[in-house]
Structure 1
């Protein structure tokens, strides 16, 4: 073997060795982080979930559920936040659909109720069925996160805090926020995203949640240390009740953090002109919606990012 080929072989072996070392480090760090955090997660509520088959286009659709963890109050374990996250792995397009908790829908084997009640009746599986039936949304995976865990994740991923341009002054659960740009810790971010005691109710809250999501994505791309990423992802999986496979998480996470992705696009349901308030239902105050109009808006949004 001449010197040239010796250098080629040596280079390839070195490259493979480095790659295997990085891979092994990533896997070990991921599982170490997952083991450290997963004992805190209760997966029983969603153990019957079966996702819809993924399309060949490369799109991934995840049902994201925020749970305040209270089972003994009037909400009885209902979802406090409901989002559908769509990511096109080919086009690198992230999209988020926020669905307001008071939307009045038909829940299989239950009847008419607020959409957030589906989680109390049947977890992520029943919530998926409602999204299938009412809005034609195909859901591949789910992720349910407790609010206490959310604050921990924010503090772990962003130990220096998250920069948020607060749109208004508010106070919730002992946290006071003034308007303007500021650095928030996990609990402050949570209260900012949860607040709905102003005149806008859920409409304002959903807008702030989308603002927070956009800020987290942008700051994650610019501020997360590469060496700590596998362990952080492992912690996230351990903290969150989800059926997202490791390879999907790694692929999407790497794309988000190191690839060139497009700006986050958002949609709120119900869309403008498609709903009415109704205070005289067995479920209390609800948003009665035109399901066909919202279904069409979702289809257009997922197809081209626009809603007429």
Structure 2
């Protein structure tokens, strides 16, 4: 048993080291994040940040999600936050929510979510556009089966046709980022949820307990995160062993709680009913 545990740990560490040498994300030690535990100790809230940073420019967060996991009921949930929501950013008045990442990194983004929606977030994960395809190709080297909603070719590097198909990591990234249609970010967020559901469902099918430490080490290495390895392994084991329930999803702002707006300093924004969205989010996570 001890020998098996040692082999698993070595496999995890080797994969982690290999992946970290293959990415250009900031070092975790350079990031401030004063995480808050959820009120229910069985719950874990993780802030997922898809960064569009280039070089030394931190940039704005291109994608924002809160992953929620109830370790008792084994219920995973995923909340997508529309990046154009016009909210109060501590120390910066009102602006688009994704501007918080540019102003103050993950910590200011955490504070912004806490102030506007009353959610405590303990951990963060940052993934950039260079790392995402590598994560996908690590989890699912034979590709991800996706039923593409429409033909996509303009404004993206890939050429995607409507219908069922397998996508590699780079093509999947282009599909998830596409927003050059009438739905704009609303369609893009829906496709991001479709992609993550597919990756979670199909990744579990091709990963077994023996391979799990190596896969998790590789995935963790392609991100910047303060997630403890023990939590990552525990939740990953639940998924691989089929203990978890299907992922439930929510998108903020909810329907009927927003309207389009414009401000010179922010551009086009979504004016939201903050109280209504706060209530809906907390209800979703508590149910």
TM-score under structure 2 length normalisation: 0.95
Matches within 5 A, 1:134-213: 134-171=116-153, 172-213=155-196
Matches within 5 A, 1:1-308: 19-39=1-21, 40=23, 41-43=25-27, 47-70=31-54, 77-171=59-153, 172-304=155-287
Question: Which has the larger share of helix?
Answer: 1
Deviations 1:71-106 (A, max 9, x none): 688xx6000000000000110101011001100011
Q: Is the 8 A contact 2:28 2:224 kept in 1?
A: no
C-alpha distance in structure 1 between counterparts of 2:197 and 2:100, whole Å: 27
C-alpha distance in structure 1 between counterparts of 2:30 and 2:267, whole Å: 27
C-alpha distance in structure 1 between counterparts of 2:55 and 2:108, whole Å: 18
Deviation at 1:44, TM superposition (A): 5.8
C-alpha distance in structure 2 between counterparts of 1:197 and 1:120, whole Å: 23
Number of aligned residues: 284
C-alpha distance in structure 2 between counterparts of 1:45 and 1:209, whole Å: 29
C-alpha distance in structure 2 between counterparts of 1:56 and 1:264, whole Å: 19
Deviation at 1:28, TM superposition (A): 0.4
Range with greater deviation from structure 2 (171-180 or 42-51): 42-51
Deviations 1:243-273 (A, max 9, x none): 0001111111111111321111000000001
C-alpha distance in structure 1 between counterparts of 2:29 and 2:185, whole Å: 25
Deviation at 1:275, TM superposition (A): 0.4
Deviations 1:102-128 (A, max 9, x none): 000111111111100100111110000
Question: Once superposed, which parts of structure 1, at least 4 consecutive aligned residues long, lie more than 3 Å away?
Answer: 54-57
Deviation at 1:70, TM superposition (A): 2.4
Deviations 1:228-248 (A, max 9, x none): 321121111111100000111
Q: Is the 8 A contact 1:71 1:77 kept in 2?
A: no
Q: Is the 8 A contact 1:46 1:124 kept in 2?
A: no
RMSD of equivalent CA atoms: 1.6
Where do 5+ consecutive residues of structure 2 fail to align? none
Deviation at 1:56, TM superposition (A): 4.6
Larger radius of gyration: 1
C-alpha distance in structure 2 between counterparts of 1:46 and 1:82, whole Å: 21
